Chain A
Amino acid sequence: MSDGSALDHHSPYETPLHRDETAIAGMWLFLASEALLFGGLFLICLIYSHTRAGGWAEGVRHTNLAIGAANTLILITSSAVYTMAVEAGKRGDNRRVVRAGFGAAALGLTFLALKGGEWGQEFRENLFPGPHFALHGPDAGGAQLFYSFYFLATFLHGMHMVVGIGLILWICRKARHRAFSAAWNTPVDIVGLYWSFVDLVWMLLFPLLYLIGRA
C-alpha cells in the first residue's frame, strides 16, 4: 500500500476507492485462512478434552485463572481502544490515531508481559511437557497432552500478537507523518480487522485453556 491517495501508473486499480476495497477483501480472505489455522488446533483440543477428559481437566486446573481472566479483559479493552483509532482515522484525525494506537499497543504489550510471567511460572513448576513433568498419577498423560496444546496455542497466539503490535506501531508512525485523511485511511481499518481477529482467537482460547473442566 503506497501512501497517499495517488495511484502510480503500474498499479492495477481503477480508482483509489477500488484499491482500498480490494485491500480489505484481501485481508478478509487472509483472515479466513488464519481461522482455519486455529480451527484445526481448536478441533484437536475439543476432541482431546473429550476423549482424555480426566487429564485435560487436571491440566486446566493448573492454569492460572487470574492471569488468564485479566489478560482477557486487557485484550478486549485493547480492541476497544483500537476502534477509537479507526474512528479517528475516518475523520482524518491523525493525532487521535496515534494516541489510540499507542494505547492499544501498550495494552497488547501488557498482555504479552503477563503471558510471559505466566509461562515463567509454569516453567518453574515444571508444567512444560517432558520427562520432568510435574503432574503424576493416572491422568498425567492427559495433562501432558493438555500442556502441549496450551504451550503451542499460546505461542502461536503470542506470535500473532507480536505481529499485530508491530502493525499498530507502523500505523502510529504513519499517522505521526499525517498520512491519513478522511479520504484515505484504509491501513487503519485493515490493521483493525487483524487486531480484532487476534482478540477473537483469544476469546476462544480462554475458555478452552482455562475454563472447560475446571469445575
Chain B
Amino acid sequence: MTWLPEASAHAMRIDLLLAGLVVISLAVLGLVFGLMLLNILRFRAGRTTAIARAIAAHKSWRFEIVWTAVTLAIFFALFLWATQLYVVGFRPPAGAIQVYVTGKQWMWKVQYPGGQREINALHVPAGRPVQLLLTSEDVIHDFSIPVLRIKHDVLPGRYQSLWFTADRTGSFRFYCTQFCGLAHSRMTGTLTILSAADYAGWLNSTPASGSLAATGEALFIRSGCSGCHASSRYAPDAADTSRAPSMVGLYGSRVVLADGRAVVADAAFLHDSIVDAPRRPGASFATEMPSFRGVLSEDELAALVAYLQTLSPTLPPSAGN
C-alpha cells in the first residue's frame, strides 16, 4: 500500500487542509482523553476526602463562555479555509479542454472534442485545465478521481461540471462513487495523465469519426434545429430571431429567464435547454420548441453542444481540435 499521490496543485491544497484538520483533531482528542485520564488518576473514589461540593452552577459560567468561544473561533476559521477551496470548483477557466463524460449502468463513455471516444478511460494532458461535462443516461452516478481530490455526482438529464489542472503524469484510477445498482463497484476506469506532446500524439493516433462539432452540425440540420434557430455566423439571416433565439453568440452570453434569473449560457445551459426549452420573458417566437428528451441520445447532445460553442466568435472554440 502506498500513500495516495497528489496529481495537482489543488490536491496539495486539500491535503494541507486535511492535515490541518487532523492536527486540530489530535489536539482535541489529546485534551479529552488526557483530562479523562488525569481526572481518573486524581479523583478515584476513596482518594478524595471531602465531598462538600456546593452548587457549582454559578462558577461554571466563565468556563462555559471560554470553551464555547474558543470552539466557535476554531470552527469559523476551518469553515473559511475549506469554503475558499471549494468555491474554485465552480469557476472553470475559459480556455479549458472540454471532455464529455456520460455515465451509464455500469460504464463510463468519454468523448473528446476531436471526435475520439473511449470507455472507462480518460486521457488528459498535464499542465492544461480540463473541464469534464458529466451526465448520465439512467440513474445517478458519481465521477471520483482520488488523486485529484475531486468528485461530482452525475445526474441523468443534466450537465454537471468538474475541472482540474493535472501536474504530474501517470496512470491513476477513477471510480463511480454513487451507488448505482448491481455492478456499481465495477464502474471504474483509468485516468492517464500525459505530457502535452504525448497527449497530442495520443489524439492523433486514436481513430475519430469527424470532430464532435462537425457531428453536431450535421445533427443540427438533421434534427430540424436549423429550421427555426439562426446558426450561420456570417449569413444575412444571422440575426433572424422571429421563430426562435439565434444560436450565434449564445454560448457564453447572459440569458434572462422567465423567473427573472440571469444565467450564463454555458454547456450545461445549452444541454438542458435542448432537453427542455427554457421559458424566456415576453418571448414572442412564432414557434414553440418541443422537448428533445429521449429523442436525442446523450452522445448526440454532447455533439450538439460542442457545435453550438463554435458559434460564439468571442470565445475560442474548445481547444483540442
Contact = CB atoms under 8 A, between A and B. Distances in A.
Interface of A: 50, 53-54, 138, 141
Contacts of A50: 259
Interface in B282-307: 288-291
A22 to B, nearest CB: 32
Interface of B: 259, 277, 279, 288-291
A171 to B, nearest CB: 49
A141 B291 contact: yes
A151 B290 CA distance: 27
Nearest to B258: A53
A53 B276 CA distance: 13
A84 B288 CA distance: 56
A138 B288 contact: yes
Contacts of A53: 279
A50 B279 CA distance: 12
Contacts, number: 9
A44 B288 CA distance: 27
A44 B192 CA distance: 44
A174 to B, nearest CB: 51
- If over half of A's interface residues share one DSSP class (helix, strand or loop), that class is named, otherwise mixed; here it is helix
Given A54-B279, A138-B277, A138-B290, 6 more contacts: A50-B259, A53-B279, A138-B288, A138-B289, A138-B291, A141-B291
A53 B291 CA distance: 16
9 contacts: A50-B259, A53-B279, A54-B279, A138-B277, A138-B288, A138-B289, A138-B290, A138-B291, A141-B291
Contacts of B259: 50
A2 B259 CA distance: 57
Contacts of B288: 138
A148 B277 CA distance: 22
Contacts of B289: 138
Contacts of A141: 291
A71 to B, nearest CB: 32
B131 to A, nearest CB: 27
Contacts of B279: 53-54
Question: Among the interface residues A50, A53, A54, A138, which one has the most CB atoms of the partner chain B within 10 A?
Answer: A138
A53 B279 CA distance: 10
A54 B283 CA distance: 14
A50 B291 CA distance: 19
B60 to A, nearest CB: 33
A132 B289 CA distance: 23
